[in-house]
Each structure stands twice: as C-alpha cells, then as structure tokens.
Amino acid sequence: MSRFQKATKVKSKLRMTMYGPSGSGKTYTALSIATGIAKELGGKIAVIDSEQGSASKYADRFDFDIAPLPENSIHEYIKAIKDAEAEGYEVLVIDSLSHAWKWLVDKVEAIAKGKGHNNKWAAWAEGTPLYEQFMKAILEYNGHVVTTMRSKTEWVVEQGSDNKNKPKRVGTAPQQRNDTEYEFDIVGKVNSEHWMEVEKDRTGKFQDRLIEKPGPEFGQEMIAWLNEGAEPEKDWSTVVPGVKAAIKNRAQDKIQKWEGFLAKWHKEMPEEIYMEATTLLHDFKESLKQKMAQEGAA
C-alpha cells in the first residue's frame, strides 16, 4: 500500500500576525479582523494584552474579553493561551508578541552573565526551547489566532502633495525572532496610514494585496476560504480540560456548550474521554442539587 494519498483541502484555523510602527493601528486592526471572524462563526473573542491596556480603549467599538498579563514572561503568555482555549474562545488576539521576545532576550542575557561570561550562544540553548514552547502553544490553539508585533521604527523624508518635504515614520523589521513569520499563514505589514500589505499568504488568495484599514469584512473573507474543504480530524484531548475549566468557573453557558458538544460527538470520540467528561458534568450537577437542598432546608 502506497504511503501517498490524494491531497484534499481541509478546514483550518487562522494563524495571522501583523506588524507596524507605533500608531499604525495594529491593535485596532487585529480587533476588527477578529470581530469579523467571531461574527461569522458566532463565537467570542479573547485578548491577551501586554500593551498596557491598549485594546481596552476600543471596548466601546468591539465585543471582547481581555486578560492583561501580570508580567510579560513566556510562561504567562502560555498560561493565558491555555486558559483561553479551556474557556472555549473561538478567536484569540495576542497583543503583542514582541514583549515575550524582549523578555526572552533579557532572560538569555541574564543567563549568560550569571554563568560568568557573555557567551549568548550557550545561553540560547536554554532560551530557544522556551520560545519554541511559546510558538507551539499558539499554533496548537483550538481556535483562530490573530497576533501583533511591534516593528523597528525609522524616519524617512518624503515629498507631500504640497511639494514640501515632510518626515514620515515607517516600520522596518518586526521586533521578534527573525524566523517568526514562517509560523503564520498570513503576515501583514501595517503602515502609518493604516494600510496593510499582505506580505505572506499561504491561502494564495490575498498575497500582495494592499488593504486600506482592514475591517471585519476581511476577517469574514478569510474565514470563508478557511472553512472550505473537508472536516479535519478532531483533537479530543481538549474536551476534559475544557469541561473542568467550565465547571471551575461556574460558566453555565460553557457547561451547556460542552453538554451539546458531547451529545453531538459522543459516538466518534474515545469512550474514556466521553465517560470522564460526562461524569464530571454529572457530579457537578449533583453537587449543585445537594447545595440547593441544604439551603432550602436551612
């Protein structure tokens, strides 16, 4: 039997990043695109914030839940990503990745100095696995992911419409590990006029497009393409952690969502996972009944 099979397109989850200088509108653009995705799918948006509450400024324009990071360590990023997945957020925005990279660079420098030398190559033997864990958490997220990166900023002089020379702020390379863009399906470069150039696009549909102020429609357009094709094989490993998180947080809407999920897919998922998840939900409901009975008798 041949190891090769006919290639088929399967539905997939978005992995997108964008970068640009300060003031280019990265946060707003990410929220706008995420809103289009969530609207199309009927899901919710979670924002992991390392930008000192930048996303919260747009809370009157977009509907999302936010988790400011207590510190910009890779460990905190990964923990927040796992929490968002466990709580069932369909779309995750990470604003931004650059703080995780800066934290790691500082950590590597501290490791090198702590060992009494400045051999950063040796220190990166400890730092690189951390960054790979970070990327792995993003790529394995059970939902759509939109991220931002700061860019190195330079000033150039351009001639304006009035024929006068004016300084203009432009973004160059992202403040991130050099090969980070390889991990994402779509990479956008946002300029100071809020136009986004699609520099990389694995779908082939948006490559080299220059989009003025990308909005929800762009998110919906991407999802329409990503949803074409066959259903991918399901990852059942998230079921039990998701049920546990819903119970821990007393999130009734998510508990009902998991009950519906189990009812729909119980014939396909492994029996041990189905039994553990349903037992957790049953025990939780029984404990609620007992508590209500005790309160009624008091």
- For 221, the enclosing helix (H) or strand (E) is helix 216-226
What's the confidence (pLDDT) of residue 68? 95
What's the confidence (pLDDT) of residue 157? 58
What's the confidence (pLDDT) of residue 268? 87
What's the confidence (pLDDT) of residue 160? 64
Task: Indicate whether 109 belongs to any domain.
Answer: yes
Statement to judge: residues 163 and 253 lie in one domain: no
What's the confidence (pLDDT) of residue 7? 86
Task: Indicate whether 36 belongs to any domain.
Answer: yes
Domain residue limits at 40? 15-226
List, in order, residues 6 or more apart from 148 with CB less than 8 Å away: 17, 18, 19, 26, 27, 30, 93, 94, 95, 96, 97, 98
For residues 293 and 242, give the distance between their C-alpha atoms in angstroms, rounded to a whole number. 28
3-state helix, strand, coil in the chain (%, to 5): 45, 20, 30
Mean pLDDT over all residues of the chain?
Answer: 89
Task: Indicate whether 3 belongs to any domain.
Answer: no
**Quick check: 296 and 288 in contact, CB under 8 A?**
no
pTM value? Answer: 0.76
Statement to judge: residues 41 and 103 lie in one domain: yes
List, in order, residues 6 or more apart from 151 with CB less than 8 Å away: 19, 20, 21, 171, 172, 173, 174, 175, 189
Task: Indicate whether 9 belongs to any domain.
Answer: no
Number of domains making up the chain: 2
Statement to judge: residues 89 and 21 lie in one domain: yes
pLDDT digits (tens, 9 = 90+) for 207-256: 999 999 999 999 999 999 899 888 877 889 889 998 999 899 888 878 88
Statement to judge: residues 127 and 190 lie in one domain: yes
Statement to judge: residues 143 and 196 lie in one domain: yes
Using DSSP, state whether 14 is helix, strand or coil. Answer: coil
CATH number where 109 lies = 3.40.50.300
Neighbours of 82 (CB within 10 A): 16
What's the confidence (pLDDT) of residue 96? 92
Statement to judge: residues 173 and 266 lie in one domain: no
Which residue ranges in the chain fall short of pLDDT 70? 116-118, 153-172, 298
Task: Indicate whether 252 belongs to any domain.
Answer: yes
Statement to judge: residues 43 and 158 lie in one domain: yes
